Structure 1
Amino acid sequence: MAGPAELLRDFVNTYDVEDDADELASPAELSMWLRERGLIEDGDRAVDEDLVMATRLREGLRRVLRHHHDAGPYGLPEDLDAALAALPVRVTVAGGTPGLRPTRTGVAGGLARIAASIPAAHAEGTWRRLKVCAQSTCQWAFIDSSKNRSRSWCSMRVCGNRTKTRAYRARRRVEGSPRPS
């Protein structure tokens, strides 16, 4: 099973901003995604309200991960705060290990497991390494594995190159424009 940072990254990446493609476009697709990751049982089925909750959780996480490029504190987006408050989780010290555990099974419990991955990723030191691509048209989530946590793009080959090429062209336009007399 994937670690907490990987689960959060994969969940955020169920929506591809650049292609406007959503893996969770229906309750059935949400159920399948959660089931494939062992977050719900075979008989569990999502309903429309679960899909709304999942979308709020996902997009709220995406907004928070944008702030991980900065070192400073940030506020919690309202939709994420509301989604987290509605999920059935509680603090436990099961087996001597503190953590958040779902209080229900089913889809709500599966979404609660995703939310419980937030403090788990923080505890293992990967929470601040979770970021979304700085390219506004991309917003793909990734885990920054650079030594100094300075990575900004999901891929230097694609988004990094696009950004640097745009900046270069903008500088060339400015350099090539006639100077005022």
Structure 2
Amino acid sequence: MPSFAELVRDFVNTYDIEADADELSSPAELALWLRERGLAAPGDRATDDDLNTALLLREGLRAALRREPAELPELPELPLTVRVGERPELVPAGAGVRAGLARIAAATLDPSWERLKVCAEDGCQWAFIDASRNRSRSWCSMRICGNRTKTRAYRARKRGSRHLQGSNTDTV
């Protein structure tokens, strides 16, 4: 099973904004995705309501990873219980698709959450784990998204300086 951070990252990345491609486009695909990660049993089936809950959870997590205040839609109940051991933790109650989604929701309480971010490039918003020492990484890929952002800013500055130079007319 992947780490909590990897689980949340992979779940958020089931929708590729740039390509407009969704791995969770049907209840069957949701059940398969959860089974492949050990979050649902082979016989577990997802419903349309489960899919709707998963999509709300996914986009709520993406918004939370942007660290911007947002009004998130209310999620239907996910079966969670508190288990007390060395430290209290939320764990899924029961089994099935809803319990798998509950495990993803509970993963947000893991300390590795602080390392999760979404790409600052508006057209991307791919989730990634920031492994930099000072947690200052902004893009999923400096080579692609970082370069796009920096090139766009450079061009905007150049346009602005040309505009200012062209409007400099001295009257005598």
Question: By the TM > 0.5 criterion, same fold?
Answer: yes
- Structure 2 match to 1:142: 128
**Would you say 1:7 and 2:1 are equivalent positions?**
no
Q: Which amino acid aligns with 2:72?
A: E
- Structure 1 match to 2:90: 100
The 2-side partners of 1:76 and 1:170 are apart by: 29
- Structure 1 match to 2:50: 50
**May I ask how many residue pairs the two structures share in their alignment?**
167
**Identical counterparts, % of pairs:** 61
- Structure 1 match to 2:102: 112
From the CA coordinates, give the structure whose radius of gyration is larger: 2
Give the superposed CA RMSD. Answer: 1.4
- Structure 2 match to 1:90: 81
Task: Give the CA deviation at 1:76.
Answer: 6.2
Q: Which runs of 5+ in 1 are unaligned?
A: 68-73
Task: Give the CA deviation at 1:29.
Answer: 0.2
Superposition misfits of 4+ residues, deviation over 4 angstroms: none
**Would you say 1:180 and 2:158 are equivalent positions?**
no
Q: Which amino acid aligns with 2:162?
A: G
The 2-side partners of 1:16 and 1:132 are apart by: 12
Written as runs of structure 1 = structure 2, the 5 A alignment for 1:4-43 is 4-43=4-43
The 1-side partners of 2:61 and 2:70 are apart by: 9
